[in-house]
Amino acid sequence: MNNVVVYILAKQNIEAFSENVELGMAADIYCDDSSIQAKVASMKIHRFKHGHEPRVVVNMIDVIKQISGMCPGVTVESIGETEIIIERSSLAKEKENEKNSLWEYVKIAFVSLICFFGTAFTIMAFHNDIGIENVFNHIYRLVSGIDSNGFTELEISYSVGLTVGIILFYNHVGKWKLSNDPTPLEVEMRVYERDVNQAIIDMAERSKNKQKP
């Protein structure tokens, strides 16, 4: 097995539907020797036990040690994540989520209403702080020579422009997108996921250090 290299592109977070988790479920593997590639891909890196934590963090160093013991002489090149977060899932959990789909829609509608009215209140409070009504009245008087009644072309165009600007900024209305670029919300969600994954890895590392004598 000299000069045989196994490349492993590990994923950071996966969901396992079986008790035994194989390396092929958590990483993309390539090797010129197809038999070694299949052997490494079928290698078990974790086994979930009943009553234990449904989530575990696997260190790639431990995986490389396991591969080296199973295939002596093989060189392992890890080009992916250094830690793999594995979360146990089940068909029962999926079915439960499907049953609660109506409740999920209710929660989405509730959160949407909170965001809508909360944003509207924030905009109104900001406008009140800067006295935008007086600003509009002053601008309208300078242009037209008469006082604004609060419902002129200036206020209407500003309201329409504010709505269009928000839509263009978020680049997302329902399933319709202006471009293929990720929306600000999608970017923030990816940042949040990375932060959560890093926090899980740090907590697992601290817990492991506390268990050491």
203 and 117 in a common domain:
yes
- Between 112 and 150, the more confident residue is 112
Same structural domain, 191 and 106: yes
Q: Which of 64-73, 96-105, 127-136, 195-204 has the lowest mean pLDDT?
A: 96-105
HSE-CB for 67 with a 13 A CA cutoff: 30
Give the residue from 90, 121, 154 where a domain finishes: 90
Same domain membership, residue 122 and residue 78: no
81 and 139 share a domain? no
Instruction: Say whether both 192 and 137 belong to one domain.
Output: yes
More confident residue, 179 or 60: 60
Give the pTM: 0.64
The string of DSSP codes covering 21-76 is EEHHHHEEEEESSHHHHHHHHT-EEEE--TTS-SEEEEEHHHHHHHHHHHSTT-EE
Which of 90, 120, 146 represents a domain boundary (last residue)? 90
Judged against a pLDDT cut of 90, whether residue 73 lies above it is answered with no
Q: Say how many domains are in the chain.
A: 2
Q: How far apart are CA 14 and CA 27, in angstroms?
A: 9
Q: What angle do CA 53, 103, 108 make, to 5 degrees?
A: 95
d(CA 39, CA 186): 38
Range of 76's domain?
5-90
Percent above pLDDT 70 for the chain:
88
pLDDT of 129 > 70? The answer is yes
Residues 6+ apart with CB under 8 A from 4: 31, 32, 33, 36, 71, 73, 74, 75
- Angstrom CA distances, 48 to 23, 82, 185, 213, stand at 14, 21, 34, 25
Q: Which amino acid is at 155?
A: E
Q: Per-residue pLDDT tens for 83-94?
A: 999 988 765 555
Q: Are 199 and 119 found together in one domain? A: yes
| C-alpha gyration radius of the chain | 28
Same domain, 11 and 62: yes
Give the domain CATH number at 62.
Answer: 2.60.480.10
Q: Is the dihedral of CA 174, 179, 185, 189 positive or negative?
A: positive
Are 144 and 206 in the same domain?
A: yes
Pairing status of strand 27-31 against strand 55-59? unpaired
Residue 76: pLDDT band (50, 70, 90) is very high
Residues 130-151, mean pLDDT to the nearest whole number: 84
Using CA atoms, how far apart are residues 61 and 205, in angstroms rounded to an integer? Answer: 13
> Are residues 32 and 47 part of one domain?
yes
Gap between the Cα atoms of 170 and 153, Å rounded: 26
- Please say which residue of 54, 70, 90 terminates a domain: 90
Q: What's the pLDDT at 108?
A: 81
Q: Say if residue 57 is in the same domain as residue 107.
A: no
